[in-house]
């Protein structure tokens, strides 16, 4: 019994001697984890301020009276608020025309890009033909060139065929820039569809056309939505092509807002901010509802393409 008691006492002293060191290590680990969390949240706060501060100032300018817009020093929190800049938008018939033009051009660009890209991506994914890889990478390489370099060529081409100042010129020019990414995005979705499923449809008597439209396309609906959203936003936000290739009748919102509120001697900043904020709402709402499809499409195209 004496020997057992001595052994227990020895083990107790050893454990007691080890506890402070282990406790210090645990405390150090928790402290390091706490510092990492604080650093991560601090980085998120800095990045969030960097990204959201311009948006906040955008909103503040839109609700600030005209006489207080150029006040110096500027105030982070406005002392007086007005919504007259928003209410006046409904009475601007020209602005509503720009909004309609943007909707027509953007939706048409999205539909055309998705239709053409779906057939191209399916051919690249499920067919093997000579020059396939070269053509695929050539399409992707077209994204490496600045789009403004093609503006002079497109202007001369549309002018020769009397297509300037038409919706068709804008839709066609926007589609040429959205197609490469849409093709690669959809190809990633088509690569994920097993060939055995397509072979089963062929065995059941379905033609290639019926297999594509009744079997494959319904399974790639997220990719089609992602490609359509990308093309829509591209057509909605373009400025330089819409300014150069369109006229007063077909001009879209980005150049229309500039021509309406920015003049040679005076700029209506509050009205411009209010109009820009109002016309951004449709895109923000659409992106909020469909962003998961866009992320899935970009991820699929990046991993499987």
32-69 confidence digits (pLDDT tens)? 788 888 888 888 888 888 888 888 888 888 888 887 77
Instruction: Name the residue with tokens 């019926």.
Output: 210
Domain positions in the chain:
2-62, 88-304
Candidates 2.60.40.180, 1.10.3720.10, 3.40.50.620, 3.40.190.10; CATH matching 88-304: 1.10.3720.10
CA angle, 279 then 178 then 214, to 5°: 105
pLDDT band at 268 (very low <50, low <70, confident <90, very high): confident
**pLDDT, tens digit (0-9, with 9 covering 90-100), for 162-201:** 999 999 999 999 998 888 889 988 888 888 888 888 888 8
Gyration radius of the chain's alpha carbons: 30
Higher pLDDT, 25 or 258: 258
Mean pLDDT for 73-84 is 81
What's the CA gap between 168 and 161, in Å, rounded?
Answer: 11
């Amino acid at each position: 019994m004496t020997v057992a008691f001595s052994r227990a006492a020895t083990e107790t002293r050893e454990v007691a001697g080890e506890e402070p060191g282990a406790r210090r290590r645990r405390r150090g680990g928790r402290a390091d984890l706490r510092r990492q969390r604080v650093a991560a949240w601090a980085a998120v706060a800095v990045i969030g301020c960097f990204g959201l501060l311009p948006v906040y100032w955008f909103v503040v300018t839109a609700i600030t009276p005209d006489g207080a817009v150029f006040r110096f020093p500027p105030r982070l929190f406005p002392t007086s608020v007005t919504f007259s800049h928003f209410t006046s938008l409904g009475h601007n018939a020209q602005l509503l025309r720009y909004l309609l033009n943007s909707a027509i051009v953007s939706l048409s660009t999205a539909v055309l890009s998705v239709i053409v890209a779906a057939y191209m991506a399916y051919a690249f994914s499920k067919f093997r033909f000579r020059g396939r890889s070269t053509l695929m990478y050539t399409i992707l390489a077209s994204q490496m060139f600045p789009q403004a370099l093609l503006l002079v060529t497109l202007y001369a081409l549309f002018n020769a065929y009397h297509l300037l100042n038409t919706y068709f010129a804008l839709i066609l020019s926007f589609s040429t820039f959205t197609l490469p990414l849409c093709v690669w995005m959809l190809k990633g979705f088509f690569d994920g569809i097993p060939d055995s499923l397509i072979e089963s449809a062929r065995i059941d008597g379905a033609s290639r056309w019926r297999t594509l439209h009744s079997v494959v396309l319904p399974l790639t609906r997220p990719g089609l939505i992602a490609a359509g959203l990308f093309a829509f936003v591209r057509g909605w936000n373009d400025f330089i092509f819409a300014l150069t290739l369109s006229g007063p009748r077909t001009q879209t919102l980005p150049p229309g807002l500039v021509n309406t509120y920015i003049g040679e001697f005076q700029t209506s900043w509050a009205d411009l901010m209010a109009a820009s904020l109002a016309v951004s709402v449709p895109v923000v709402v659409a992106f909020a509802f469909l962003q998961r499809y866009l992320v899935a499409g970009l991820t699929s195209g990046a991993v499987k393409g």
